[in-house]
Amino acid sequence: MKKMTKLLAATALTAAAATTASAEKWDMPLAYSGSNFHSVTAAEFGKCVTTGTGGEIEIVTHPSGSLFKGADIKRAVQTGQAPIGERLLSGHQNENALFGFDSVPFLATSFDDSDKLWKAAKAPLTELLAEQNLTLLYSVPWPPQGLYFKNEVTSVADMKGIKFRSYNNATSRLAELTGMLPVTIEAAEISQAFATGVADSMVSSGSTGYDRKVWESLNYFYEVDAWLPRNYVFVNSGVWSGVSDQNKNVVRACAELAEYAGNWRSKEYTGFTLQGLRDGGMTVGPASDQMVGELKDIGVTMTNEWLEASGDQGKAIVDAFNGMQ
């Protein structure tokens, strides 16, 4: 809290000194609904920057894929179509395996381990983004990922043939290894996809299911804590280079606050949203021992595949993470 107070004080002082002579608007595309905790955090970040720069930089968020669809946000910011944005970078693992470090099954299954894994991966990921004309500002994890199904599932054999919503390479591969049928569906399209039978299952957090009221179509959520994927907020490096040092300090301070608040929300939201799924009528609880064991075997396969694809960088991240245990 002391750190937050100091940051807020510094932001307020900068706001008092700033002028609106060179005001510019930064439209910030978001993939998730305005009520999602990531979007709420991003909106607060935008207000912090707008206030802290005295209006010299006004950040306006556009949730639910309304400005650019989730899959298009990274490219939009890289090419300058949008100055800033938020994206689940594991959705771009096909570009570079490093983007999928946070979606390796059963590598980091708790918030503490997710934080350690992020510390191990932050430097190389930041460097990779810089090569793509992107400057990383902050990152926030999702709650642990569980499995949603329409019907009861007690083993991997029960999953065969089920239409499964995928959102990155890891989820598509998980579907293949369990005999499910992967269907790529953006977060903003989840409710409609389940309501119309385009998909009958997914791996995601309680947060996504709660935000999209999936209990209207699905009946089971199994807590398997497969991984904690992360969202990332980044700015076009060309735009960033044109920001004054004073305003860069404001943006960095607001980003640090946003990362702190987002992590706190993610942890608090975990229990709240799981209870929300129960209140909606879903059966929520741990998966069977058989299913967990079978999924962990699949996780070993996927971990080895990711290590092979990511090469020395991937091995260095995993080694550094294991060294913190």
125 and 8 assigned to the same domain? yes
153 and 292 assigned to the same domain? yes
Task: Give the separation between CA 92 and CA 102, rounded to whole angstroms.
Answer: 12
Residue 276 in any domain: the answer is no
Residue 251 in any domain: the answer is yes
Residues 6+ away with beta carbon under 8 Å from 267:
111, 143
215 and 182 assigned to the same domain? yes
15 and 128 assigned to the same domain? yes
Task: Give the separation between CA 199 and CA 167, rounded to whole angstroms.
Answer: 12
108 and 96 assigned to the same domain? yes
- The pLDDT value recorded for residue 325 is 86
Question: Which pTM was predicted?
Answer: 0.89
Amino acid found at 211: D
73 and 189 assigned to the same domain? no
- The pLDDT value recorded for residue 132 is 98
pLDDT tens-digit map of 233-284? 999 999 999 999 999 999 999 999 999 999 999 999 999 999 999 999 999 9
63 and 196 assigned to the same domain? no
pLDDT tens-digit map of 32-61? 999 999 999 999 999 999 999 999 999 999
212 and 99 assigned to the same domain? no
Q: In CATH, what number is assigned to the domain containing residue 222?
A: 3.40.190.170
Number of domains in the chain: 2
pLDDT tens-digit map of 294-307? 999 999 999 999 99
Residue 129 in any domain: the answer is yes
Helices 2-17 and 37-52: crossing angle, nearest 10°?
40
139 and 150 assigned to the same domain? no
115 and 101 assigned to the same domain? yes
Residue 197 in any domain: the answer is yes
pLDDT tens-digit map of 96-118? 999 999 999 999 999 999 999 99
303 and 254 assigned to the same domain? no
Q: Which domain holds residue 239?
A: 2-143+229-271
Structure tokens at 204: 């995601």
